Amino acid sequence: MPIRALVFDVFGTLVDWRSGVAREVERLLGNDHPGLDGGSVADAWRARYQPSMEEIRAGRRAWADLDTLHGESLDDVLGQFGLSVSPGVRYELVLAWHRLDAWPEVPGALTRLRERFLLAPLSNGHVALMIALARRNRIAWDAILGAEFARDYKPKPEVYLRAVQALGCRPADVLMVACHSSDLAAAAACGLSTAHVARPDEHGPGRGEIKPEAPVDFIAADLSDLARQLNA
């Protein structure tokens, strides 16, 4: 069966989380903390991403959305950097993850792909977060799937399989698109088709995956390249 739908990792694959978070950190804290390196804060915050979700994946904690987890991780990061902020600034910092910009080719490539395929995010971000990023970057989705829909976090199989079910497809008919080989390996284990998109600067210049570290069905230099390979 041909590919009928594409589902996407979002943070890193579609949006440049590091630059966006660094920008917001420096905007909100820079006046009180001259010379603060927003990139270092973003890196420290992201380093707490997987550990925070693991508590839920392991069943040690009830479901909580990414805003909640980001807020809890932020408190640790602020302590690490010796920063003190008001509740209002803390709230705005959490919303930094809602104000991320897409990589330059992404909106146009998604518009092309949507002419041929069903499209949905398959992210660890919750629905409100996915809506904010879509509106900011003028992205039109056919559905919003992922963590909140499955009430669990990738790479748990339920997250991928619930998305396939919601789209009315077989696993192989759905193409998981990501710049993280671990995400793609988990999707492939559930029977999904997979596409790796290189994001060599995800974690800063020269600090991202340039090629897959697991078998995939498509290897693309960016999302426009993937659209070309899919004849979109």
Same-domain pairing of 114 and 205: yes
Domain count, the chain: 2
Domain boundary among 79, 98, 117: 98
Radius of gyration of the chain, Cα coordinates, nearest whole angstrom: 17
Is pLDDT at 1 greater than 80 in this prediction? no
pTM: 0.96
Return d(Cα 99, Cα 23) in angstroms, integer.
10
Same-domain pairing of 119 and 158: yes
Same-domain pairing of 106 and 216: yes
* pLDDT single digits (tens) 165-224: 999 999 999 999 999 999 999 999 999 999 999 999 999 999 999 999 999 999 999 999
Residue 80: domain span? 17-98
* pLDDT single digits (tens) 22-52: 999 999 998 899 999 999 999 999 999 999 9
Return d(Cα 159, Cα 21) in angstroms, integer.
26
Share of the chain above pLDDT 90, in %: 97
Share of the chain above pLDDT 70, in %: 100
